[in-house]
Chains A and B, each alone.
Chain A
Amino acid sequence: QKEVEQDPGPLSVPEGAIVSLNCTYSNSAFQYFMWYRQYSRKGPELLMYTYSSGNKEDGRFTAQVDKSSKYISLFIRDSQPSDSATYLCAMRSNSGNTPLVFGKGTRLSVIA
């Protein structure tokens, strides 16, 4: 079993839809949970992060972490064509300079 599992999609939704993206993980030591957005041939850009369990909201984006289920989610409300990208979940433990462990990424297309 991979440390982080993420459905690669592709996921296609109409403009204005609510998008739900999620990842599961197996390492209980993970404490920091991030969502990155990556456009084609570009580096990832940080969208949201959460420390430990809980919810976090930023504009149209909401990140949720359920450590008991080892399950994290990203919700996008009122999706826009400009949201079309690959969304990567990433996580790490709390110790030192450990690298981020990424999911495979989900390709999202928002159709106008």
Chain B
Amino acid sequence: GAVVSQHPSWVICKSGTSVKIECRSLDFQATTMFWYRQFPKQSLMLMATSNEGSKATYEQGVEKDKFLINHASLTLSTLTVTSAHPEDSSFYICSARGAGGNGYHGYTFGSGTRLTVV
């Protein structure tokens, strides 16, 4: 089945530094990537949607200059948290959808990245 590899699985960084999270689709071409964040005991909140080769579309309230999304190829999308602060500490999850015909089950999730900013 479709697999999305997300790295790193956890990261601790100092306040003010930047962190890059990668999601790779291993056996399909991810034309669309969704990025979510999840706070403890909360649901997944959509941050942005990116289509390969296009600029990402951010949800209301998500700073595009802080959360940089790059989707330059059909198998790789990255989320960079710039100038991270403690309030950015969260669980970040990507979800990839392949080219047409996948229907509902094209939404394959990565394993998540736990970011802690100290």
* A→B interface (CB under 8 Å): 6, 8, 32, 34, 36, 41-46, 49, 51, 88, 92, 97, 99-100, 102-105, 107
Contacts and interface: CB of A to CB of B under 8 A. Distances in A.
Interface-central residue, B104, B112, B114, by most chain A CB under 10 Å? B104
A45 to B, nearest CB: 7
B6 A88 contact: no
Contacts of A46: 105, 107
Interface in B27-69: 31-32, 34, 41-44, 46, 49, 51
Given A43-B112, A44-B109, A97-B97, A102 B34 contact: no
B110 A43 contact: yes
B44 A41 contact: no
B: interface residue count bin: 20 to 34
Contacts of A104: 42-43
Contacts of B111: 42-43
B81 interface: no
A89 to B, nearest CB: 10
Interface of B: 6, 31-32, 34, 41-44, 46, 49, 51, 91, 93, 95, 97, 103-105, 107, 109-112, 114
Given A99-B49, A100-B95, A49 B105 contact: yes
Contacts of A49: 104-105
9 contacts: A34-B107, A42-B112, A43-B109, A44-B44, A51-B103, A92-B104, A99-B49, A99-B95, A100-B107
Given A88-B44, A104-B43, 13 more contacts: A32-B103, A36-B109, A41-B91, A43-B6, A43-B111, A44-B44, A46-B105, A51-B103, A97-B97, A99-B95, A100-B95, A102-B43, A105-B43
A105 B114 CA distance: 19
Contacts of B46: 99
